[in-house]
């Protein structure tokens, strides 16, 4: 979002007062309902997931206008959740740039993963430079552990970065066992840009999406400060896995441990939110998350969820309501996923609606501050990402300008976003003090990760 767009957004927010509200019902509010009363979200529950939705207002106005919808997908915490056996492929970049401490830490993390897997789990090991070497998938036994450890210890740095070759080898090792395991996942470790094989980001993203359709999730973990975070995030988004970066490669073992815990606790995979837009809603935009437009619908792929995890999605709706109405559907949501506990596909649906009025005061009077905070947080996250890009490009003036925009946005929400406000101020201070390219890059990566969390994405480390 550029500065002009931000100012327009701020003007809209001010005109709407507190931003947006969530209304879960197609029924108009009763006349006796006090102004400003917040109504609960619409909730759908089926299997291990719960879907909640709120609209930005109990009322929307006639003519061109905007509304927002806030969706929360939550995985239930099961009291007697059983550890899920996993079918994993660990894919390690061994290119020349991994030389030294990074590769030593990658080997140590791989040995830790081998040691933590249990009987019934399977693991394939892949390392790539210009060429690709594979330790075939094996079920965990004392003998197979020894073979895996020997393979890991033999990894030495050499060659370019054939990332696509590593991914393809990982997927090939997993495929024969996907039907026997409810959780299959490629965990990719890399510190740089692909230089051989497929190097186009869009094609690599489609590769990850194809794997997810086969039942194989893809997680991308960037090591160091020179990797392509946009690519690694895209692989995770389209592959339904997790994204992370580690400035200190010594944390690789810790992050792989968290990845293993998430994989073995997975309750739902192939999670997809589809939003159908009725007449009067001209378009929709998911803020900060990947989405695919399909005629009058918006398809939002989400990541695999383990017990207690959730994901929030803020969607902007562009409206063109012609006449007042006591009740209008503004969006129909459908959530599809594979329930790994019941071992079956699940679908749940809900509708969000509002009354249409010419009374702008009534629209402003029925706003939900919680949804307002979610929208403000998403708008701020857009500015964070713009600031992070400006930092990487060396445009200090623009980066500080974007951070100032974030402070003004978050400051308008007072105590609700005080924690985020403090973190932005810390980032701004650290960036002002950064004197070299490495320090600047470090702050840009921190800000990028923070922006994902502000968008409501909990699939980043």
What are the sequence ranges of the domains in the chain? 21-78+268-367, 86-264, 371-454
Decide if 20 contacts 41 (C-beta within 8 A): no
Decide if 336 contacts 272 (C-beta within 8 A): yes
Decide if 444 contacts 391 (C-beta within 8 A): yes
Residues of the chain with pLDDT under 50: 1-36
Note the pTM of the prediction, 2 decimals: 0.82
Q: Check if 21-78+268-367 and 86-264 are the same fold.
A: no
Decide if 341 contacts 47 (C-beta within 8 A): yes
Pick the CATH number of 86-264 from 3.40.50.410, 3.40.309.10, 3.40.640.10, 3.30.2350.10: 3.40.50.410
pLDDT at 289: 83
- Per-residue model confidence as pLDDT tens digits over 399-411: 888 888 888 888 8
Decide if 272 contacts 300 (C-beta within 8 A): yes
Pick the CATH number of 21-78+268-367 from 3.30.1330.10, 2.60.40.3670, 3.40.190.10, 3.40.50.740: 2.60.40.3670
pLDDT at 21: 31
In the chain, % helix, strand, coil (3-state, to 5) comes to 40, 30, 30
pLDDT at 451: 67
Q: At what angle are helices 252-264 and 101-116 packed, to 10 degrees?
A: 30
* H/E element, 229: helix 229-239
pLDDT at 13: 40
- Per-residue model confidence as pLDDT tens digits over 68-86: 999 999 999 877 667 889 9
Q: Are strands 59-61 and 63-75 parallel, antiparallel or unpaired?
A: unpaired
Maximal C-alpha separation, the chain? 74
Find how far residue 111's CA is from the centre of its chain.
28
Handedness of CA 247, 313, 48, 137 (dihedral sign): negative
């Amino acid at each position: 979002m550029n500065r002009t767009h931000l100012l327009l957004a701020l003007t809209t927010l001010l005109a709407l007062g507190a931003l947006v509200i969530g209304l879960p019902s197609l029924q108009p509010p009763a006349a006796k309902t006090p102004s400003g009363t917040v109504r609960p979200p619409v909730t759908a529950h089926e299997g291990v997931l719960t879907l909640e939705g709120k609209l930005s207002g109990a009322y929307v106005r006639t003519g061109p206008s905007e509304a927002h919808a806030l969706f929360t997908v939550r995985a239930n915490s099961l009291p007697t959740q059983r550890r899920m056996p996993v079918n994993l492929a660990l894919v390690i970049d061994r290119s020349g740039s991994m030389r030294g401490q990074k590769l030593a830490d990658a080997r140590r993390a791989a040995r830790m993963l081998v040691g933590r897997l249990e009987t019934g789990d399977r693991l394939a090991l892949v390392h790539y430079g210009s060429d690709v070497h594979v330790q075939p998938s094996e079920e965990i036994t004392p003998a197979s552990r020894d073979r895996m450890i020997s393979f890991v210890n033999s990894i030495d740095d050499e060659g370019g970065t054939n990332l696509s070759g590593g991914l393809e080898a990982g997927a090939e090792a997993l495929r024969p066992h996907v039907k026997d395991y409810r959780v299959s996942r490629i965990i990719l470790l890399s510190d740089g840009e692909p230089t051989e094989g497929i190097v186009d980001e869009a094609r690599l993203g489609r590769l990850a999406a194809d794997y997810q359709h086969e039942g194989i999730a893809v997680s991308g973990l960037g090591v160091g400060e020179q990797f392509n975070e946009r690519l690694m995030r895209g692989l995770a988004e389209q592959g339904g896995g997790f994204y992370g970066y580690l400035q200190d490669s010594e944390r690789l073992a810790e992050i792989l441990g968290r990845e293993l815990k998430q994989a073995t606790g997975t309750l739902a995979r192939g999670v997809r939110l589809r939003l159908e837009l009725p007449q009067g809603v001209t378009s929709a935009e998911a803020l900060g998350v990947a989405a695919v437009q399909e005629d009058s619908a918006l398809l939002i792929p989400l990541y695999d969820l383990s017990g207690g995890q959730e994901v929030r999605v803020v969607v902007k709706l562009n409206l063109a309501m012609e006449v007042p109405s006591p009740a209008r559907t503004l969006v129909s949501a459908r959530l599809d996923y594979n329930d790994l506990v019941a071992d079956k596909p699940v679908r749940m649906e809900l509708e969000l609606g509002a009354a249409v009025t010419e009374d702008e005061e009534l629209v402003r009077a029925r706003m939900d501050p919680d949804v307002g905070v979610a929208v403000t947080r998403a708008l701020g996250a857009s500015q964070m990402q713009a600031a992070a890009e400006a930092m990487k490009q060396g445009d200090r003036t623009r980066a500080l300008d974007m951070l100032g925009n974030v402070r003004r946005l978050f400051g308008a929400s007072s105590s609700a976003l005080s924690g985020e406000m403090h973190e932005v101020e810390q980032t701004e201070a650290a960036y002002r003090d950064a004197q070299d390219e490495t320090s600047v890059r470090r702050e840009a990566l921190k800000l990028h990760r923070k922006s994902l969390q502000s968008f409501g994405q909990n699939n980043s480390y």
